[in-house]
Amino acid sequence: MTGATIALIGAPGAGKTSVGRQLAARLELPFVDVDARIEAEQGKLVREIFADSGEAHFRELERVATLAALSEPGVVSLGGGAVMTPGIAEAVAGVFTVWLQVSVTQASRRVGLNQARPLLLGNLRATLIKLLAERTPVYENLATITVDTDRSGVRGVVEQIVAQWEGVDR
């Protein structure tokens, strides 16, 4: 399946990194976690970039890294808010895009008090509710397919994606 790009979108805690790694291995494609790529390139954690340079600076780094990753074959795990950037949303619209849907309850359990997620500091549940309210319409609009991650483990989610991926003309 060379020449194929799959974008994984969804809220924090949806499983984009975990699913992305296994999906890429299953399809024998490279895997890119955009946040991890930014951290490697900048030599700082995402939370440090936010603290030192602000969200606007991070979003520009994210835009550049995401567009580069989406231009190459592979499975790309996007940051939860990446699709809110118009250039990224346009690029995602051109590839097979999987929205990993997650409830606030499950996302809260999975994310916990992860200090690496700067936008989720403070009242985690309230912040997730607000982020999902803002982002859900964008996720819905951009998704080629939607997979509910609440009731399936990573392996089950990967199987659902592969089944739909194999049925799509590319």
Q: For the chain, what percent of residues have pLDDT higher than 90?
A: 65
- Selected residue with higher pLDDT from 51 and 6: 6
Domain 16-165 superfamily per CATH:
P-loop containing nucleotide triphosphate hydrolases (3.40.50.300)
Q: What is the mean pLDDT of residues 74-91?
A: 94
- Taking the chain, what is the end-to-end CA distance rounded to the nearest angstrom? 10
Q: What is the pTM of this model?
A: 0.87
pLDDT at 43 over 90: yes
Domain ranges for the chain, please list them: 16-165
State the pLDDT at residue 105. 73
Query: Span 21-37, mean pLDDT?
Result: 97
